[in-house]
Structure 1
Amino acid sequence: MRPVALLLLVALAGCSTIQLGETLGDPNATAPTLPLDLLWERDADGAFGPSPAQVTDRYVVVGTRNGEVVVIDRESGRIEGTGEFGDSVEGQLAVSPDGETIYVPTAEQDGGVVAYDVRRGRRVWRWLDGGIQGGVVRLESTVVLTTLDGRVVALTADDGAVAWERPTSGTAQYQSAPVRLGGDVLVADDRGRVVRIDGATGTERWRAEAGGPVYAAPAVADGAVYVSTTRGGVVRLDAETGSAVWSIQDEQALRVSTAAIGGDVLAVGFSDGTVRGIDVATGAEQWRYRGEGSVTAAPVWIGDRVAVGTLDKRLVVIDGATGGEEWSTELRGRVKSALAVGGGLLVALVEPRHVVAFHTAP
C-alpha cells in the first residue's frame, strides 16, 4: 500500500485514548448556588457546536468541531481521555443507562454516529449514512437520530442495526436535537414541523406547526412541549395531542434559544440580548432582563436563579422571579453553546475552545 493511502486509512479509522477503566458515572442534575467561583478551565483543542456538555457525578464530556470527544475529571479538570471520531461533532451526545457507552454524532455529509465503550476503550459499532447536526437521544433499547437530509432513524443500541426509519419529507432538514418524551421521541425541523414519534415503531403520534424554523431543541416538562423558532416565536403544545396551548411572537424575527424550565416560569434567551421569563400556563411575560450581548445559547436554572451565557463574553446569573442581575463574570470568549449543570457544577463552553466549570464558592 502506498504511504499516502496508508495515512488516509489511519485518519479515517480514527484513534482514541478514552479508556477510563470505569463508567462515566450517573447523571447528576445538582446545580451550584451563589456565590459562584471558578473551579477549573481546560482547553479542549477544538471549537464547540450549540449543544451543552454532558455532566455526570464523575466526568464532564464534550464534543468538538475537530471531531474529538474530550472526557474531563469533574473535580480536578484533568483531561482523562480524548477520542477522535473523524468529523465535526456538532450535536448532542448520548450516554447509555449504565454509563459505559457514549453515542457520538458527526455532522459531515458522510457522517453518522459511533457507539464507543469508554470503560474498555473500544468502538462498539458505527453507522455512517448521513450527517447529524442536532444530535442523538438514547431511548430504552434504541438510539434515535435526525439527519441533515431530513430523515429520522432509530438504531438498535446493542449493534447499530436500523430498527426503523422515517424518510425525508420534502426539503426539510433537522438542525435541532431530538428529545425524549417518555418512550417516544420528539423532533422538529427547519420548516417548523414538530412531530411526536412512537419510539418502538417509528409511527407518528401527532404533528404540529411551530410557526417558524426550529434550530433549538424543544423543551419538555409536565405534559407540555415548548418550541422556540428562529422567527421570534415560542409555542406551548400539549404533549399528548400536539394541540397549541399558547404562542408568543416578537415583532422582530429574532433567534430564540431552547427554553429552560423552572417551575412555573420559562427562561428563554433572545438574540436581541434579552432573557425573558414567561409564565408556563399563559405565555405572559413576567420579567425581562436586557444585557449587552446577544443570547442564543440555552440558559439553565440553578435553584431559583437563571444562568445565562452571552455573546459579549459574560456569564450572568439573574433572579428567576424578577429578572434582576445578581452576579456576573467576564469570560475569555463568547458563549454560543447551551450551558449545563450537574454534580454541583455549572459548565460553560467558551470560544474559542475552553471548557469552564464553576462551583459554589467555599
Structure 2
Amino acid sequence: MRTIRLWPLLATALFLTGCSSAWKLLEGVTGEKDVVLPGKRESVLSPGDSTTAPSEASSEPIVIPTAETNSSWAQPGGQATNSFGNLSAGATLSRAWAASAGEGTSSEGRIVASPIIVGGTAYVLDSRSNVTAIRTSGGGQAWRVSLVPEGKSTRAFGGGLASDGQRIYATSVFGEALALDASTGAVLWRKKLGAPVRAAPTVSDGTIYFTGSSNEVFALRASDGGELWKYQGTGGQATIASSPSPAVAQGFVVIPTTAGEIIAFTATDGLEAWSDALTSSDPAASATNIGSVAGRPVIEGNQVIAISNAGRMAAFALNNGERQWTRDISGSQTPWVAGDHVFVIVNGKTIMALSRRTGAVRWSKELPGKVWAGPVLGGGRLLAVSSDGQLASISAQTGEVLNTTKVSDAFFIAPVIANGTVYLLSDDAELIALR
C-alpha cells in the first residue's frame, strides 16, 4: 500500500567528515525494531547478535541465472536500474594490471564513487575531484582532468560518474554537473546548480538524474545540461560518506534520500508518484542510527528493493509503491538481485540471501575480517571486498566463503565487472584489474 511520507522535522543535511570511511561509522551499529509499518515483517536478527538469522524455505534451491557478458559498467550501479544479474567472470582471478587513479583517501578527502567502465576505458573520480581515464587493455593513463573550479579548495569530496557511451557525466561537491568528452576529457558543458552534490548521477534516455546534499532532485538534459525539472527536497538527517545514485526504468526514477526515504518520480516531468520511509520515527533509534539510504535502490521488473542504515529493508511495486515485504535489517551497501533472490551485506559484516518474492532469509553468514563492501555476482559466485584489503569469493547457494585473498591495504568501494574483468578500486586510489 502507498504510505505517507515521514520527513524528519527540524533535521539538517549534515555530511559526516570525521572518519576515514563510510563503514567505520557503521561498525557495531545494528538496526533496532521499533515502529511497526504496514507490510509483511519478521525480525531476522537474534537479540544481542547482529550476525545471525534463521534460514527459511530452505527446501527450495537457490538457482542462479546463466552468466552473461556485459560490455560496460557505465553507471555507478552498472546500468540505470542498478541491477545486473549474473555477470561473466573467471573461475579464478589473477591480477592483470594495477594503475594509479589519482589521490587516495586522506584527512583532506575520501574516495566514495564507484569507477565506471566504458568503451575500453575505466574512469575514476578520486578524493580530490580529479577524473582519471585508464585504458583497460593494460592500465595506461589516457587523461586526467580536475573538476575543481578555479579558486576553490580541493579539500572537498563527493559526487560521481556515469556515461551514455559517448560522454562522461560528473557531479561534484562544488555544486556543478559537467559533461566530459570520453576520449579527451575536454569539458563539453558545465552547469552550476546552486547546491553541493555528493551523490553520483544516473543517465537514461538523454537525461541525467541526481540528488543534491539537501535532497534536491535534478533532471538535466544530457546534450547541454539544461534543466528539465527540479524537485526541492527537505534537509535530512546525518548521513555517511557514500555516493548513492538513482535507479531509472519504465518511466520512473527512484531516488534515495538522506532522510531515509525513497521517492519515485515520473521521469519525464518530475511528478512524485509515491514515497516510503525506511527509517524509524523513534527518537531513541534515531540517536543510534544514521538513517540515510546510502546504498542504491534497485529496480528489477516491477519491483524496487532498497535498504537503509536505520533498520529497514523493503521491496515495493514500482508502479504504485505498494509494499511487498519488509525486513528489520540495516545496511549501507546496494542489494544485488539475481533471479529470484537478493543478496545483501548487513551492517558491513554479515551477508544474506533473501527471497525476492517474500523477503524470506535463505541463508545468513558472518564474514571474516573487518567491514565489507559489495556484493556483486560474477561467474555464479558473490564477490565482496573488505576494509582490510581482502577479496572474498562466496557461494551464492550457501553463503560459504570459498576463499579470501589479500589484494590491497583497504577497500571501501564494491567491485565492478565488465567484459569478464573484475575491477577493484582501493582506498589509496589504485585501480586493480583481475581476470
Same fold (TM > 0.5)? yes
TM alignment of 1:82-101, pairs within 5 A:
82-86=144-148, 90-96=158-164, 99-101=165-167
- The answer as to whether partners of 2:415 and 2:422 remain within 8 angstroms in 1 is yes
The answer for the alignment partner of 1:203 in structure 2 is: 271
Structure 2 residue aligned with 1:143? 208
Distance across 1 between alignment mates of 2:370 and 2:342: 18
* Equivalent residue, structure 2, for 1:14: none
Structure 2 partner of 1:319: 395
Opposite residue 231 of structure 1, the aligned amino acid is A
Identity of aligned residues (%): 21
**Shift of residue 26 of structure 1?**
5.5
Contact 2:244 2:256 (8 Å CA) reproduced: yes
Whole-angstrom CA distance in 2 between matches of 1:119 and 1:327: 38
1:44 aligns with 2:110: no
Retained in 1: the 8 A contact 2:144–2:185?
no
**Cα distance, 1:271 vs structure 2:** 2.7
Structure 2 contact 336–344 (Cα < 8 Å) conserved: yes
Partner deviation per Cα, 1:24-48 (whole Å, 9 max, x = no partner): x962675312111111111212236
- Once the 2 structures are TM-superposed, how far is the Cα of residue 342 of structure 1 from its aligned partner? 0.6
Change (3 A) 1:172 1:55: same
Name 2:117's counterpart in structure 1.
Answer: 55
Larger mean CA deviation between 179-188 and 45-54 belongs to 45-54
Distance 1:293 1:183 in 2: 41
1:127 aligns with 2:177: no
Cα deviation for residue 300 of structure 1 reads 0.4
- The 5 Å alignment of 1:129-278 reads 129=193, 130-171=195-236, 176-211=244-279, 212-250=291-329, 254-278=330-354
Contact 1:257–1:295 at 8 Å: present in 2 too? no
Identify if the C-alpha distance between structure 1 residues 171 and 320 changes in structure 2 by more than 3 Å, giving closer, same or farther: closer
Match of 1:31 among 79, 83, 88: 88
d(CA) in 1 for partners of 2:222, 2:351: 38
| Ranges in structure 2 where 5+ consecutive residues have no aligned partner | 1-69, 74-83, 105-109, 149-153, 280-290
C-alpha distance in structure 1 between counterparts of 2:103 and 2:350, whole Å: 28
The size of the alignment, in residue pairs, is 328
Superposition deviation, residue 294 in structure 1: 4.0
Whether the 8 Å CA contact 1:31–1:346 is kept in 2: the answer is: no
Structure 1 position 230, deviation (Å) = 0.7
Q: Note the C-alpha offset of 1:191.
A: 1.6
- 1:148-173 per-residue CA deviation (whole Å, 9 max, x = no partner) reads 02211111111111111111225468
Unaligned regions of 5+ residues in structure 1, if any?
1-24
Deviates more, 1:309-318 or 1:284-293: 284-293
Aligned-partner residue type, residue 276 of structure 1: M
State the AA in 2 paired with 1:189: T
Deviates more, 1:130-139 or 1:206-215: 206-215
Alpha-carbon spacing, 1:121–1:52, altered in 2? closer, same or farther (3 Å)? closer
26-35 or 306-315: bigger deviation: 26-35
Structure with greater proportional strand content: 1
Work out whether residues 307 and 313 of structure 2, in 8 Å CA contact, stay in contact via their aligned partners in 1.
yes
SS in 2 for 1:297: strand
Q: Deviations over 1:281-338 (max 9, x none)?
A: 1111112232233445231001321001112220001110011122321022221112
Is 1:112 paired with 2:176? yes
Q: Residue 76 of structure 1 aligns with which residue?
A: 138
> How far apart in 1 are the matches of 2:373 and 2:294?
11
- Cα contact 2:235–2:259 (8 A) shared by 1: no
Distance (whole Å) between structure 1 residues aligned to residue 371 and residue 340 of structure 2: 22
User: Quick one: distance in 1 between partners of 2:230 and 2:90?
Assistant: 43
Superposed CA deviations along residues 260-298 of structure 1, whole A, max 9, x for unmatched, are 112122111123511111111111111223223344523
Q: Report if the CA contact (8 A) 1:116-1:123 is conserved.
A: yes
Distance in 2 separating the partners of 1:249 and 1:315: 27
> 1:75 corresponds to which letter in structure 2?
S
The one-character-per-residue Cα deviations of 1:213-244 (angstroms, maximum 9, x if unpaired) are: 31111111122111111123311111111111
Secondary structure of 1:278's match? strand
Residue 369 of structure 2 is aligned to residue 293 of structure 1: yes
**Which residue of structure 2 lines up, in the alignment, with residue 18 of structure 1?**
none
Alignment TM-score, normalising by the size of structure 1? 0.84
Task: Please report how far the alpha carbon of residue 92 of structure 1 lies from its aligned counterpart in structure 2 after TM superposition.
Answer: 3.4
> How far is the alpha carbon of 1:56 from its aligned partner?
2.9
Structure 2 CA distance for partners of 1:133 and 1:227, relative to 1, 3 Å: same
Code of the aligned partner of 1:265? H
The amino acid of 2:362's aligned partner reads: Q
Structure 2 CA distance, aligned partners of 1:334 and 1:122?
A: 32
Partner of 1:309: 385
- Aligned partners of 2:177 and 2:190 also within 8 Å: yes
Letter of the 1:43 counterpart: S
Tell me the equivalent position of 2:48: none
Q: Could you state the TM-score of these two structures normalised by the residue count of structure 2? A: 0.71
Cα displacement (A) at 1:121: 4.5
